[in-house]
Amino acid sequence: MNIDNLVLFLKDRERLQGEVFLSNLEERKLEEVKHSEIIHAPEFKTGADSSTVKKHAKSRFVYETNTAVRKYIDSWIKSNVRGKVVLDLACGSGEITRLSSKYGAKLSIGTDLAALTIENNREQLSRDTEDIFFILDDAENMTLPSNSVDIVICSGMLHHVQLEKTAHEINRVLKSGGKVLAIEALKHNPVLSLYRKLTPNARTHWESAHILGVGDAKLLGSIIPLKQIKYWQMFSIFAIFFPGVTRGLALKVFNQIDSFLLKIPYINRMAWIFTIELEKKN
């Protein structure tokens, strides 16, 4: 699709009223919206008190151990987005949308179901920003035109959706030769599965029941050719139990251990996170 026509489409989509969009969503998606807005939108907009926010974001503190995978994601984005149209699918607070713009994307598009989250993302943009758009859209039923996007980034969102339906939609909007990077929690580690059961408020019902496994990566690969799977974090999570200045050193040591162990087949399935890279055929 012509870039000028895509920009016109995005500007028109920006005018969609949140209440109109939300009125067409089914109940499970409205639960996702509520959960997302409590985490990503300001408290004065959601009406949630600090204790409610803390319950919904209970597992967030462990993300400070994500240094290795975050470095990889940053490097991947920097290497792939320059001059491209990038879709940050279910963008949350929009960090990846903005990072894509920073690294030279021609257009960076963040979509989400949550109206307050999208509104908040727009408010944080400078007035002269012309290459970033945040729009309301459903990953399972995208309004984006076919063959309009070069890069799709799915950061922790595929377990919130009907996977096969969303994969076909990604394939539809993706141009020939387009690439996908998906970052997801992995379901196979029994200790992590127990932790998820002990922190039910940190996830929606759908999310809890649809954490991805290796089989799901293969399903994605049957729709958009699978290029690579990488596994991240097994022991590095335990760095959170180390106090103060020792935490950084512990994390470096655990990351080194993980970098070795997570190359071993089947042991790598005990990772907390995996990244899935796909590429549509020319």
Tell me, what CATH number does 79's domain have? 3.40.50.150
100 within some domain: yes
227 within some domain: yes
Q: Which of 195, 182, 116, 172 is nearest to 152 (CA)?
A: 182
Low-confidence ranges of the chain (pLDDT < 50): none
258 within some domain: no
68 within some domain: yes
User: Do 173 and 146 form a contact (C-beta atoms < 8 A)?
Assistant: yes
State the pLDDT at residue 1: 74
State the pLDDT at residue 127: 67
Q: For the whole model, what pTM was predicted?
A: 0.93
State the pLDDT at residue 59: 56
246 within some domain: no
249 within some domain: no
State the pLDDT at residue 198: 86
CB atoms within 10 A of CB 257: 12
Torsional sign, CA 108, 217, 35, 22: positive
184 within some domain: yes
Please tell me the total count of domains within the chain: 1
User: Do 174 and 152 form a contact (C-beta atoms < 8 A)?
Assistant: yes
State the pLDDT at residue 60: 62
Domain that holds residue 26: 3-235+265-279
Amino acid letter, residue 114? A
107 within some domain: yes
